[in-house]
A and B are shown apart, each in its own frame.
Chain A
Amino acid sequence: MRRTGYLELIWYKGMADLHAEAARAYVGFIWWVLEPLLYMTAFYVAFGLGLRGGGVHTLTFLLCGLVPWKWFASTILSGSNSIQANTGLIQQVYLPKYVLPWMVLVTNGMKFLIILGLLLLLVATLHGVAVTWLALPVIVLVQLLLVAALASLAAALVPLLPDLSLVIDNGIIVLMFVSGVFNDVSKLPPTLAHLLSFNPMVQVIEAYRAVLLDHLWPAWDHLAWVALFAALVYGFAWRLLQRFDRIYPKVMMS
């Protein structure tokens, strides 16, 4: 198959999974919107009212953390399972394994864009629109690169080390609490803030908040660091997927 064939495959399969998901659940499409809303409400009650005293700003502050976080977490979880989920397929047809996490990236990326659209409507209503919104596509792209890198790495490793999926499940939960989803990392004690700033998701979430809530330009140097980190991780994941390309179908069978 040609390269363009794989692009078409990733896109069509990603969208097909999206259709299938919508067709399977009774409320289908509505569920994608409902789920983060419920999630957000629970955290608003628990953290917003409890710790920050509530208010409109707390609501949008939490949402600007939760929406990108949800995209990050759900894509890495499904991505880590993407080779196993296609066991039958890769026994029937040769596919380069790097395409499998990309199918998840398309499905989840489209869901994220829909939810991001709703978030933008809400933020525009409550805080207005600023010229700094122009930086949004760059932030989304940097996050896409980060999510692609980690999802591909997880996809490459989990079939070889099945126990790793437990580590990932729990690691994601721990990571949520140190990614600034609920709190402003820059307001923490300096040593801790400095330490947490090495977490790429802290930088991504801060960039969304700067642009949408504070109407400031994002910290470009921090975003560049995230992009560089993601590129290195993707490079490593790519090499693993190439190295084990024709081994995965055997591992899956045993």
Chain B
Amino acid sequence: MSGDTIIELKNVGVRYRRRAGFMRSNAFWALHDVSFDLKHGESLGVIGRNGAGKSTLLRLLAGILAPDTGEVMRKTERVSLLALQAGFIPALTGRQNAILSGILLGLTKAEVEARMDEMVSFAELEQFIDEPVRTYSSGMRARLGFTVAFQADPDVLLIDEILGTGDASFREKSSRAMREKIASDKTVVIVTHYPETILDLCDRMVWVEKGVTVEVGEPRSVVEHYQQSLKPGGRRP
């Protein structure tokens, strides 16, 4: 299976409408013309400045949005974001939230419960797992959110920034766990505006600017061109 195309985008555009008064709206194209393919087992990096359309691109890949122009072809429906703290309800305990979030990410309740001890120890929340999440510090919440999200095992994992979450020591631990997963034969798309953090992890790199794919190819050369464009007087796409 390795090497087969699993998702293909062809000249994809996504438009938002902004309401501008009674019966009027302005169209805003977050993506104009994006084309690339994703192969089974590869790790694909997506780079671009703020506002390049990276978040919209992730939502498109995850099937949250449909394209307004162009085509998205996918061989699997199991494509999802590493969704941190998805559906958390502050009044409920860490344990209840872990189950809720896990079910939202496609696990069954039984699967989440079976992994609970392991998750609690990874998140370092042994003493707090049965306390309401509203009593957690933001660091504790981030640890639980990451740990649960990381349990989901879609065919294609979409990651928005690889920097890790939570306090300093957990950030390192979560970042290491992500790197291990990416380095395995999992199909991953990583979006970032710090290309150097993923340079050694990606098999290929896509550079998106103002909703248009500028370049797709070997990570080092794509990143080099991207960084040149950032310098004053550099070649802008």
User: What chain B residues lie within 8 Å of A93 (beta carbons)?
Assistant: 62, 64, 80-81, 83, 86-87, 104-105
Interface-lining segment among B14-22, B122-130, B209-217? B14-22
Q: List residues of B whose CB falls within 8 A of some A CB.
A: 14, 16-19, 25, 28, 59, 62-66, 80-81, 83, 86-87, 89, 91-92, 96, 99-100, 103-106, 108-109, 132
User: What chain A residues lie within 8 Å of B17 (beta carbons)?
Assistant: 250-251, 254
Cα-based distance from A112 to B109 in the complex (angstroms): 26
Q: Report whether B96 and A19 are in contact in the complex, using a CB–CB cutoff of 8 Å.
A: yes
User: What is the interface of chain A mostly: helix, strand, loop, or mixed?
Assistant: helix
Q: Report whether B103 and A12 are in contact in the complex, using a CB–CB cutoff of 8 Å.
A: yes
A interface residues, how many (CB within 8 angstroms): 26
A12-B109 contact, Cβ under 8 Å, with A5-B103, A19-B92, A246-B65: yes
Cα-based distance from A93 to B80 in the complex (angstroms): 7
A248 to chain B minimum Cβ distance, whole angstroms, is: 10
User: What chain B residues lie within 8 Å of A5 (beta carbons)?
Assistant: 103, 106, 108
Q: List residues of A whose CB falls within 8 A of some B CB.
A: 1, 5, 8-9, 12-13, 16-17, 19-20, 23-24, 89-95, 246-247, 249-251, 253-254
Given contacts A19-B96, A23-B91, 20 further A-B contacts (CB under 8 A): A5-B103, A8-B103, A12-B99, A16-B89, A16-B92, A19-B92, A90-B64, A91-B64, A92-B81, A92-B83, A92-B86, A93-B105, A94-B63, A95-B104, A246-B64, A249-B59, A249-B65, A250-B14, A251-B17, A254-B19
User: What chain B residues lie within 8 Å of A91 (beta carbons)?
Assistant: 59, 64
User: What chain A residues lie within 8 Å of B100 (beta carbons)?
Assistant: 12-13, 16
Q: Report whether B109 and A8 are in contact in the complex, using a CB–CB cutoff of 8 Å.
A: yes
User: What chain A residues lie within 8 Å of B59 (beta carbons)?
Assistant: 91, 249
Q: Report whether A254 and B16 are in contact in the complex, using a CB–CB cutoff of 8 Å.
A: yes
Q: Report whether B83 and A8 are in contact in the complex, using a CB–CB cutoff of 8 Å.
A: no
Cα-based distance from A8 to B64 in the complex (angstroms): 21
Q: Report whether A20 and B89 are in contact in the complex, using a CB–CB cutoff of 8 Å.
A: yes
Cα-based distance from A92 to B59 in the complex (angstroms): 8
Cα-based distance from A13 to B102 in the complex (angstroms): 11
**Closest A-chain residue to B27, C-beta based?**
A254
User: What chain B residues lie within 8 Å of A12 (beta carbons)?
Assistant: 99-100, 103, 109
**Closest B-chain residue to A6, C-beta based?**
B103
Contacting residue for B66 out of A17, A19, A92, A246, CB 8 A: A246
Q: Report whether B91 and A9 are in contact in the complex, using a CB–CB cutoff of 8 Å.
A: no
A139 to chain B minimum Cβ distance, whole angstroms, is: 32
